[in-house]
Structure 1
Amino acid sequence: MLSQDLARYVELQHKLGFRFRVQNTLLKSFVAFAERHDDRHVQAARVLEWARLAPSPQQRRNRLLTVRRFALALSAEDRRHEIPPADALGHSPLERRIPHIYSADEIAALMQAAARLKPTGSIRPLMYETLFGLIAATGMRISEALSLQLDDLTADGLIIRQTKFHKSRLLPLHATTRDALDQYLVARRRLGTLNSALLVSAAGASPAYSTVIANFLQLARSIGLRGGPGQPGPCIHDLRHTFAVRSLEQCRHDRDVVGRHIAALSTYLGHAHVTDTYWYLQATPILMRQIAAAGEALHQGAVS
């Protein structure tokens, strides 16, 4: 019964316009856990038992709150579904996670580790090397990269059709990025798959989001970027933050130039509002030196 309830709930979320990918994965895991115990309704104790299996406090709270929203929807129809307390596993600190800004050497090490993936000689290592390099070079969302089709690669750049805010945009590509994609396409054509996805695994289909994340974590740990499971560290989305910050570092520190650059960057990243782009910016030594220089120039102008 819970499986049927979940199917209806997921269908509703999709009709409302939500991708609901990560939540769906978590809820499937919970429902499988509950049904192994012959549960026909959500039980608060079972939710907590399952949530506590997660390796970190943040993940345990996320599990709890995800199932709690599911239980709230089911309880509106059937009061036998129990709603676990939102604070049963404590309160999440209201702190912004500081993104990791990758160095060029770290990105190169990640791509080199991807190129060593097994099976050797298959398209899998090249696909992951290309995927991570593409995200780093364009700042696109991983979901956008995995949704790319062959026809989306044009002479003018990449057309991003599957966006978070349902808006298409064109991403001009640097010559080196285009060359890397062309080299990948040579190998992809040898695979002979009929799938139209741009990025495909050895099976000939686009890899699942969860599979990409799992492989990223494995590679990041193998090169010392992350610790063991449950320990914090750089994530794949930080490549998008890195693109935004490094882009701003290259901008001439003139107020008008920076303003135009931020507007262009916001469009390139596919943000609905320019204020969303500010969230992606993080202080780095280069930016702090530019800020100090701008402040000094402003002070000197005021004194004179």
Structure 2
Amino acid sequence: MTAFARFLGEKAERYIELRHSLGYAFSKQAGTLRAFVRYVERAQLDAPATRTMALDFALSFGGAANSRVTRHGVLRQFYEYLAVYDVRTEALERRAFPRSRAITPPRILTDAELASLIDACARISPSTPLRGRTMASNARGGE
């Protein structure tokens, strides 16, 4: 393990502990940071942490465009933390990757699915039958 990878791993673990102490779950983000440390270690990259390093890491995974945005965002915040310990750390741009604005198409229910939904609405609150009838009526379109 290179000295830089060791340094990066130590700072990543401290950053993860900090985020946990502030009340954040931070589990997926912690996985991203640990994967970044492994990436730096495998590639035997040397200090400082650079924009190119972060971009190459974010692009090294497949998946949706929003996944790359998320990984880059985690690294961007970590780089800000890391810059306190190594002033040569390059700042990452907020909008390095465009976020996908794709809207999923609406799901059209079949007659059977709609009937099942209305039936479930009618039974939603046995202790308050009026609530269930109101929801079922609204699901039918306010009949």
Normalising to structure 2: TM-score of the pair? Answer: 0.67
* Matching residue's letter, 1:29: A
Partner of 1:295: 142
1:250 aligns with 2:97: no
- Is this contact kept in 1: 2:118–2:139, CA < 8 A? no
* Matches of 2:76 and 2:91, distance apart in 1: 6
- Is this contact kept in 2: 1:43–1:81, CA < 8 A? yes
* Matches of 1:12 and 1:76, distance apart in 2: 14
Q: Report how far residue 79 of structure 1 moved.
A: 2.2
Percent of aligned pairs sharing the same letter: 26
Q: Report how far residue 249 of structure 1 moved.
A: 5.5
- What are the equivalent positions in structure 2 for 1:199-214 lying under 5 Å apart? none
Q: Report how far residue 250 of structure 1 moved.
A: 1.4
- What are the equivalent positions in structure 2 for 1:131-142 lying under 5 Å apart? none
Q: Against the structure 1 CA distance between its residues 94 and 82, is the aligned structure 2 distance closer, same or farther, given a 3 Å change threshold?
A: farther
Partner of 1:34: 40
* Matches of 2:139 and 2:61, distance apart in 1: 44
Question: Of 14, 19, 29, which residue of structure 2 is paired with 1:13?
Answer: 19
Partner of 1:85: 93
Q: Report how far residue 39 of structure 1 moved.
A: 2.6
Partner SS for 1:18: coil
* Matching residue's letter, 2:121: C
* Matches of 1:53 and 1:89, distance apart in 2: 14
Partner of 1:149: none
Partner of 2:80: 72
Q: Report how far residue 30 of structure 1 moved.
A: 0.9
- Is this contact kept in 2: 1:68–1:84, CA < 8 A? yes
- Is this contact kept in 2: 1:52–1:60, CA < 8 A? yes
* Matches of 1:249 and 1:47, distance apart in 2: 51
Which structure is richer in relative contact order (CA contacts within 8 A, separation 6 or more)? Answer: 2
* Matches of 1:24 and 1:6, distance apart in 2: 8
Q: Report how far residue 17 of structure 1 moved.
A: 1.6
Normalising to structure 1: TM-score of the pair? Answer: 0.34
Partner of 2:112: none
- Is this contact kept in 2: 1:23–1:66, CA < 8 A? yes
1:58 aligns with 2:100: no
* Matches of 1:62 and 1:249, distance apart in 2: 40
Q: Against the structure 1 CA distance between its residues 257 and 18, is the aligned structure 2 distance closer, same or farther, given a 3 Å change threshold?
A: same
Q: Against the structure 1 CA distance between its residues 70 and 248, is the aligned structure 2 distance closer, same or farther, given a 3 Å change threshold?
A: farther
Which string of whole-angstrom CA distances, capped at 9 and with x for unpartnered residues, describes residues 129-154 of structure 1? xxxxxxxxxxxxxxxxxxxxxxxxxx
* Matches of 2:30 and 2:75, distance apart in 1: 10
* Matches of 1:70 and 1:27, distance apart in 2: 8
Q: CA RMSD in A?
A: 3.6
Q: Answer with 1 or 2: which has the greater Rg.
A: 2
Partner SS for 1:251: helix
1:44 aligns with 2:51: yes
Q: Against the structure 1 CA distance between its residues 293 and 32, is the aligned structure 2 distance closer, same or farther, given a 3 Å change threshold?
A: closer
